[in-house]
Every structure is written in C-alpha cells, then in structure tokens.
Structure 1
Amino acid sequence: MKTRLAPFVLLAALCLVTAVHAAPPQGGPRFLGPKPPEKVKRVVTLVPSLTETVIALGAGSTLVGVSTFDEAKEVAGLPRVGGFVNPSIERVVGLEPDLVLVQPGPGNQRAVETMARVGVPILLLPLHTVADTLEAMRAVGKALGKQKEAEALVQGIESTRARIRERAKGSRAPRVLFVYGFEPLVVAGPGSFADELLRDAGAINVASEAGSAYAVYSLERAVGSRPEVVVDAADVDVGKDKVAALPSLSQARWVEVPSMALLQPGPSLGRGLEELFALLHPAAKKPDAGTPR
C-alpha cells in the first residue's frame, strides 16, 4: 500500500481530464475580483504547487491558509480551506486574504467566482504545461514583490531542462507509459507537463496521441502501445496488479516516482526532471563532481 503521495495527484489529474473536455482553453494568469493591495501580506493557496511557489519565493510568511492536501512542514500549522475542487468559501473569506492563488478548473469555478464577488482578490494560474508553470511563477512573484526571486526559479528550471536534454542525446530513447492511476487507467497525454518532461528526458511518450493531457486510456490501447518502461506515479495501487499482468506491459520495466517533485507543477519540476532522467536511463553516466549542474 502506497502512502508516499497525497490523493491530490490523481484527483487533480482527473479534474484536468474534465477541464479539457468541458471548458475552452484558458489564457495565462489573470486577476478576478478586486485588485489586491500593492503590499500583499495575507495569502491563501488552493493547491500544494502554489504553496510551494510562495515558499520558494521567500514569501512563506505571507501564507495564512492552504489546501487540505498541503504537506510541506512550513505550513503544518496553518488553517486548511478545502481542496482543489471543493474550496470552502467561508473559510477563505474568514481568513481575510489580500490574495488567493488558484489553479482554475470547472470543479472550483463557482466557488472561486463567488469569492471574487464578495470582495476577495483572486489570481487565476493555469498549470497545464511547463510554460504555464513558469508563467505562473513569474505572476506570483510580481504579485508578491518577488520578481527577481521568481526569475531565478524560472531560470533554474530552464537550465536544468537544457542540461538534461544535452545528457539525453547520448542515450537511446525508451518508449514510456506514464501512469497517474490504474482504475481507471489514467496516463500523461499530449499537452501535460509530464509529456514535455518525458521529451526533455530523451523518452518517447507512447500516449502522445491519447487525445488529452490526462487521458483515461483503455487497457487494449495500453497493451498496443508496447512501452519499454512504465512510470508509476499513482498514489494508490488499486488495479495495478491487473495492469501489470497485461501482455507487453508485463514485459516492461516498472519504476516508481521517488517524490512529489515530478507531479506538482511548481519550483520542484527541475528536481523532478532529474529524477525522471535517472529512472529512464539508469546506466547513464552521472556528471562529474566538477560539472555545472
């Protein structure tokens, strides 16, 4: 039984499936409701990746409320305001935030719009792709007066991506199935940040034509995809044995993500990419100690 990952991961993935099919494409970061004060002192976040961003910017002291699924030790004592799809309007409003950071989706749209109508400043931050994630870091940095810190985070991730791409040139590209859940089978498809990072790591995403970023995949299609590596990013093992026993999948090498770094679209993506590269290319020579990282 797995206990290392929060239920948020699969929940968010399935919500994004709904978003892809039920809502038109969203633009970049945008404000909703009243304008936040010039000096933001009280921040509420509705997903762990945005909490991570605030902390990484050196603005953790502004946090006054976080989601049910936040596990960072820095926010262990903070009030919980619900989850990605069920934020509590009453709890958020009661914390009197100067700004609420939101990953928008159909599941939370009504609650977030209600918060804005009653006078709560909202910053909507789509997090579907790596580009979205980097743009969100810059937007949060600007809102919190941490532009230089945000740019440093962005450049750090881009530097890691460039370095991993270069290392991947010397390795054969494995065929990979990246799994978020087994029952139903949910995989990383085109447009997801995991799909982008698989390419960065020198891999072929066998679900690149799945039709959506977080696709519910048929077992027959999974068998036909003939992966060489299956990356298990699910938070529970329910249904895994059945999938692992399928023809072609039973012949694949199975690996598990070692941390949340690859699963939260935030400042840890660079570290997550390094972990992914190590999983996919275990025989690759590690950089010398004197090689810039």
Structure 2
Amino acid sequence: MTRPWLRWTRLICTVLALAGAASAASAAIAIQDDRGRTLQFDAPPQRVVSLLPSLTESLCEMQQCHRLVGVDRYSNWPQAVRALPQVGGGLDPSVEAVVALQPDVVLLSVSSRVSDRLEALGLKVVALEPKTHADVRRVLGVLGELFAVPREQGAQRLWRVIDAAVQAAAQSLPPKAHGARVYFEVSRGPYVAGQTSFIGETLARLGVRNVVPAELGPFPRLSPEFVLRVQPDVIMVSNRSAQPMATYPGWKHLPAVQAGRLCVFGPEQGDVLVRPGPRMAEAARLMADCLSGAFR
C-alpha cells in the first residue's frame, strides 16, 4: 500500500513538471518573416549574423549589439560594428564565412540569394525587408519579439522617436517649401525614390510632392531625361560612392540647379537617408534642412 505522503510527493512532482513544461512552451519564440515562414526559437538567439545594414542598426538601437558576431560589408553604424568580422555583400555573402561564425540566426533581406543554402546547412534564417514606414514599424516589432526586448525599450520607443522626428521636421519647414516638387536620387543609374518607398512617404509627410509617379514602384530606375521633363523644384542626390558629383547632360539648365536648389548628400548622410531603420529620424531632419535651405 502506497503511503499518503508518497502519493502527495508524486502528485506535487507531476504538477511541477507540467508547470515547467508549460513555462518552457510559453518562453518559446515564434515569429513570421517576410517570406511568410514561421520560425521557432527556444530562446532569444545569442549569436547573430546580420546581412542588412538597416537590421544591424535596428538591433543595436535596441541595445542588442552584443549579440552580433558578424555583418555584411555595408554595415558600418554604429561604430562598434566596424570591428566585427565581415562576410561579404548582403545579397551574396560568403556562405563559408557565415557558417564559420556559428550563428544562432542569420538576418538578411528577402532578395538575398543565399537563404536556401544557409538553411540547407542547418542555419536559421530570418528574412526581413522594410520598404515602407509600416514595414519599418513591423520589422522593429519582429526584432523586438525575436530578441525578447521589452516594447518600451525596443520597437515602440524607436518608432515614437522616428514618428516624432518626422513630424517636427515637417513643422520646421518655411511656408514656401510646402507643396514643392521634389526629385530624390538614391544612387547613380539613376535609381530614384518613388512615392511608395519609405523615402517617398517621408517626403509626403514633410508636405512636399514627389515627382516620381507611384505606379513606377518604390525604387525605379529612370532615364536622366525624366528630370528634364518633370522640372522639379528641388533635387536631392545621395552620393554614397564619394565620387566627384557630375550632373547628367542637360541638368545645368534646370531651374532647380541654376537656383542652387540641388542638395548632394555625402556617403555618411547618404547611408542615413537610404536605410529604413532607426536613423529615419535623422533622415527626416536632413531632408528638412535641404528644403529649408532651398526656400530661404
């Protein structure tokens, strides 16, 4: 006959075991990336390789920089990430270099060409690609969940900073700038920021008009003659290559160029402007400063 105290001991152990299992299940992390795939993690990843600068910056702004063990060659902010091993370009990094770092997770863009190869080698891959303001807010939330960052310290705080900065930048513009027609060149080609891109959305919130039609997509490649046809009031150019700035044929006759309403952003400012992440707050101020200077 089983003694009463033994029965109670076994019952208590069973209850504690079930509670532990339930706690472990609740602690497990499940996220969905931008490929529509759901990924499960038993705990926040401790070793991270980031292959997209905006994700690198977002992670660091959430005070999670210490988890990074490797980055792509373009991740250069904050300063601390420059000391990390670089594994090549974000779209086509060295798979061997990534594997050698033994990451718990690899963060990359949807357009990266190595996702399947990395997963075939047993690595977990989270593909995230913010293109709009809503995307940025969502991606910040996904990163916050993945790394168990409290919302008040992570996604919510960062988005409030971005949102408030854009609003403040809009309020700082002189009346003459309101409704100005703006052309924003992201890189030589020219590749430009369309209305549906996060840059285009920032311009809209600043109260100016983007001369690139929405139907052309977020970042279309256009001919230089496009600018000659649309005659923008202000031209913004991201010169991230640090090459001597040379305008396209015919641009010197544009009223915007002749009036000095041409803003050329160097490599550091260019990085700020074209990365959909926490430095969008600074990007809004850079755009506003350009517009204010153009309409003094």
Contact 2:33–2:126, Cα closer than 8 Å, also in 1: no
1:224 lines up with 2:229 in the alignment? yes
SS in 2 for 1:176: strand
Distance 1:36 1:169 in 2: 50
1:92 and 1:36, CA in 2 relative to 1: closer, same or farther beyond 3 A? farther
1:75 lines up with 2:81 in the alignment? yes
1:2-60 C-alpha deviation (Å, 9 max, x unpaired): xxxxxxxxxxxxxxxxxxxxxxxxx9645759633413111110011111111100011
Residue 97 of structure 2 corresponds to 91
Contact 1:186–1:214, Cα closer than 8 Å, also in 2: yes
More helix by share: 2
Residue 272 of structure 1 corresponds to 283
Contact 1:33–1:117, Cα closer than 8 Å, also in 2: no
Larger Rg: 2
1:261 counterpart (259, 265, 272)? 272
Residue 10 of structure 2 corresponds to none
Deviates most, 33-42 or 84-93: 33-42
Question: Once the 2 structures are TM-superposed, how far is the Cα of residue 99 of structure 1 from its aligned partner?
Answer: 1.2
Residue 167 of structure 2 corresponds to 162
1:216 and 1:151, CA in 2 relative to 1: closer, same or farther beyond 3 A? same
Distance 1:141 1:46 in 2: 18
1:30 and 1:181, CA in 2 relative to 1: closer, same or farther beyond 3 A? closer
Question: Once the 2 structures are TM-superposed, how far is the Cα of residue 212 of structure 1 from its aligned partner?
Answer: 2.1
Contact 2:166–2:205, Cα closer than 8 Å, also in 1: yes
1:28 and 1:123, CA in 2 relative to 1: closer, same or farther beyond 3 A? closer
1:63 lines up with 2:74 in the alignment? no
Contact 1:165–1:200, Cα closer than 8 Å, also in 2: yes
Distance 1:75 1:250 in 2: 38
1:39 lines up with 2:44 in the alignment? yes
Structure with higher RCO (Cα < 8 A, 6+ apart): 1
Contact 1:29–1:125, Cα closer than 8 Å, also in 2: yes
Contact 1:180–1:232, Cα closer than 8 Å, also in 2: yes
1:153 counterpart (145, 150, 158)? 158
Contact 2:182–2:210, Cα closer than 8 Å, also in 1: yes
Contact 2:55–2:107, Cα closer than 8 Å, also in 1: yes
Give the number of equivalent residue pairs.
255
Contact 1:179–1:232, Cα closer than 8 Å, also in 2: yes
Question: Once the 2 structures are TM-superposed, how far is the Cα of residue 143 of structure 1 from its aligned partner?
Answer: 0.4
Contact 1:49–1:265, Cα closer than 8 Å, also in 2: yes
1:245 lines up with 2:265 in the alignment? no
Q: Gaps spanning 5+ residues in structure 1: where? A: 1-26, 286-293
Residue 212 of structure 1 corresponds to 217
Question: Once the 2 structures are TM-superposed, how far is the Cα of residue 75 of structure 1 from its aligned partner?
Answer: 1.4
1:213 and 1:39, CA in 2 relative to 1: closer, same or farther beyond 3 A? closer
Distance 2:86 2:134 in 1: 29
Contact 1:201–1:277, Cα closer than 8 Å, also in 2: yes
1:243-280 C-alpha deviation (Å, 9 max, x unpaired): 43254454351112361222211100011111111111
Distance 1:246 1:172 in 2: 24
User: Cα RMSD between the aligned structures?
Assistant: 2.5
Spell out the pairing of 1:124-143 with structure 2 (5 A cutoff): 124-143=127-146
1:197-221 C-alpha deviation (Å, 9 max, x unpaired): 1111121111134612111112222
Distance 1:31 1:142 in 2: 16
Residue 121 of structure 1 corresponds to 124
TM-score by length of 2: 0.78
